[in-house]
Structure 1
């Protein structure tokens, strides 16, 4: 099969142990993103299969319709709204899902919390410039960090990642406050944590607030400007899940108004994030380039399943197809 691996920014896949699963296939690795349906269609037209790294590229109906040779989309992790599954099925294109792990994203979220609270990044950057114990050369921003012990860690959604974050917070002596669906709140209470009595209380009492929701139609824009306005001027807002969970423009506006006092972000509505993004110019924002799952163990896990699914599909025995109805439309798509 002729296979394209998309958006491998660091050219990491070729060095993975699991890459040998693609031996015998014609593989092309793309290290840069292509913008627009026309460009993507031209790039991908020759390929029988594509391997997607999470949601880095959107496969809309318009794009899928322009790829008559495409037979398989092999997804690292789970499909999360970036593929038009209905269109793929109608066009006879199979979608194979993989697996994931909560460990790397949870550890990244905690690393951001620690770094933001103690202002590690600006301290380290200024030290290289010869400035000792300096967060900023602007006096109003040259503030000291704070410890986590005794403060309230607010977690929205107590799933696999949320539970890990709660465990980290408890180990650091934090009070754990959980919001989300009834199942999340009940599970948190069963584990000895506190469920917020209301959404308003959840935002108002948080010293550190971390989002761990899945993005869906029901959660898009679920964090509003009114929610953020309830946060303390000293609070930290953390988002390592999806940028679209926050109403468009609400976080930037809230940070300018001073509540919350800071943000630690790993996800953005436009990725890669443009260098002129206002978020990168805010001294109270710690931003990382969507690193949640970007580490060696996670890559080996994600790609091993994605590559094995592709090899199995080529051999006619892939058992992880998300849309088995695609098979009825193969003749129509050809």
Structure 2
């Protein structure tokens, strides 16, 4: 009898076409789910008969309580090589192997700049007006050249965002709790004296930090109040880094010029979520990782992970 593999959150219905599943076809039946299972109860019911689960990014949590309700689960594959929503100790206790895949830095970097440019040039408003017979030119674009870009986090993605900012002729400064002048000099950007200095001086502030106990809620009402009323905030990292209620209030009250947000506290975003109606927001449905090449990597390496597991030699194992 074949093993059963569930692919979660296949919203576009492309999981089976973005990779060649034939190497495991004789041993594994693959079922993709386009609907999102929002509760542990729904997940437990949907996945009860599956031996393998492929989960996309850090959207679906696998706590010990869920893993314990999946008696057939033997292999859990997460896209990317880091996942904070999996209880690895519970996985070990229940004999579940956890594996990952590579993940490209390019798609989130490119989406960051799509949001920056979309905000700066009023792309959505102007395109909508053109399509719907609205006014011919209703916004005045913001020039990037000569403006200050503040980058929160100068890791692999933040560095590339900073490099593009310099190519646009922007003055780029960066800050994070562990950022050194030597690292900033290496990238060729300024080192902000503090988070507060970066927020208060930036015309565009872009977040590129991993979510941790130190970064959760890093930008709250007090921090957002430091930003200039002409400044824009971009977040393609993790929603919990920014206090969502404080951001909604800042946008509603016009205390910042706008925000480009790709990540939300609940995903998919409920129809009645206040973020859906907030002004000055350019929002996208967590598209940072969604690109053809990235999907081919995720699903192609998921097949490799499955094949290696079936051969008794798991690869790309995640243990914490």
User: Is the TM-score greater than 0.5?
Assistant: yes
How many aligned positions are there? 317
Shift of 1:62: 1.3
For 1:64-213, list aligned pairs within 5 A: 64-135=67-138, 143-183=139-179, 185-213=181-209
Shift of 1:8: 0.4
Q: Distance in 2 between matches of 1:93 and 1:100?
A: 22
Moved more, 66-75 or 276-285: 276-285
Q: Identify the residue that residue 236 of structure 1 maps to in structure 2.
A: 232
Q: Greater RCO between the two (CA within 8 Å, min separation 6)?
A: 1
Q: Distance in 2 between matches of 1:144 and 1:173?
A: 20
Q: Distance in 2 between matches of 1:317 and 1:270?
A: 36
User: Which residues of structure 1 form unaligned runs of 5+?
Assistant: 136-142, 325-334
Is residue 46 of structure 1 aligned with residue 49 of structure 2?
yes
Q: Distance in 2 between matches of 1:48 and 1:30?
A: 15
Shift of 1:319: 2.7
Shift of 1:280: 2.1
Shift of 1:134: 4.8
Cα 1:281/1:166, change in 2 over 3 Å: same
Is residue 302 of structure 1 aligned with residue 298 of structure 2?
yes
Structure 2 length normalisation: TM-score?
A: 0.95
Q: Identify the residue that residue 14 of structure 1 maps to in structure 2.
A: 16
Moved more, 6-15 or 248-257: 248-257
Is residue 23 of structure 1 aligned with residue 25 of structure 2?
yes
Q: Distance in 2 between matches of 1:229 and 1:80?
A: 32
Shift of 1:148: 0.5
Q: Is the 8 A contact 2:81 2:318 kept in 1?
A: no
Structure 1 length normalisation: TM-score?
A: 0.91
* Superposition CA RMSD, Å: 1.6
Deviations 1:293-320 (A, max 9, x none): 1110111112222221111001101132
Structure ranking higher in helix proportion: 1
User: Which residues of structure 2 form unaligned runs of 5+?
Assistant: none
